């Protein structure tokens, strides 16, 4: 499709969805495409795309999202946004994850970032260390402690 000219050009709901675009409106019941903003996910950080593309996440249809990018008056013929720089879903930031560095670790301070003696470990506890951010790259990830006497 090269241009949206009427509501029949839009897939409303969760079937046969294009995973590169989505419509953003001021309310979840809006079905007038002229009152929506077309969001172009092409070239967007893969983690934002993975969290916002509707073909894999149709459960987010109607959920609150805030998206930051470059506004354009003619994206497939309607108002849109490209070059997405940041996004939130239901008020939670969608992290920007670099492909070659999924944890965002600076190689200059790698030993400072990953070093921990776990001296305050509590058996069976799930750790969110002060000053650390746990970022699962796939599935649920956490540190679980088990004290050992040396």
Question: Sign of torsion, CA 141 142 148 150?
Answer: positive
pLDDT at 67: 92
Strand partners, 92: 89
pLDDT at 56: 82
31-53 in b/e form (b: 16+ CB < 10 A) is: eebeebbbbbbeebbebbbebbb
pLDDT at 89: 92
pLDDT at 19: 75
Asked whether the whole model's pTM tops 0.85, one would answer: no
pLDDT at 144: 58
Q: What is the full per-residue pLDDT of the chain (150 aa) written as tens digits?
A: 678 887 777 776 655 566 788 888 898 888 888 898 989 988 888 888 888 888 888 888 889 999 999 988 888 888 889 988 899 999 999 988 776 665 565 555 544 445 556 666 666 666 665 666 655 555 555 555 555 555
pLDDT at 73: 85
């Amino acid at each position: 499709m090269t241009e949206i000219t009427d509501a029949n050009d839009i897939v409303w709901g969760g079937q046969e969805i294009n995973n590169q675009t989505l419509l953003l409106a001021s309310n979840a019941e809006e079905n007038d495409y002229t009152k929506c903003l077309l969001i172009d996910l092409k070239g967007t950080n893969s983690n934002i795309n993975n969290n916002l593309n509707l073909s894999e996440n149709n459960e987010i249809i109607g959920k609150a999202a805030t998206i930051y990018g470059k506004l354009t008056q003619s994206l497939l013929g309607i108002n849109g946004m490209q070059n997405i720089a940041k996004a939130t879903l239901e008020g939670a930031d969608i992290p920007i994850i670099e492909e070659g560095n999924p944890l965002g670790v600076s190689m200059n301070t790698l030993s400072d970032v990953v070093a921990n003696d776990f001296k305050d470990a509590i058996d069976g506890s799930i750790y969110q260390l002060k000053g650390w951010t746990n970022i699962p790259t796939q599935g649920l990830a956490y540190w679980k402690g088990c004290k050992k006497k040396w």
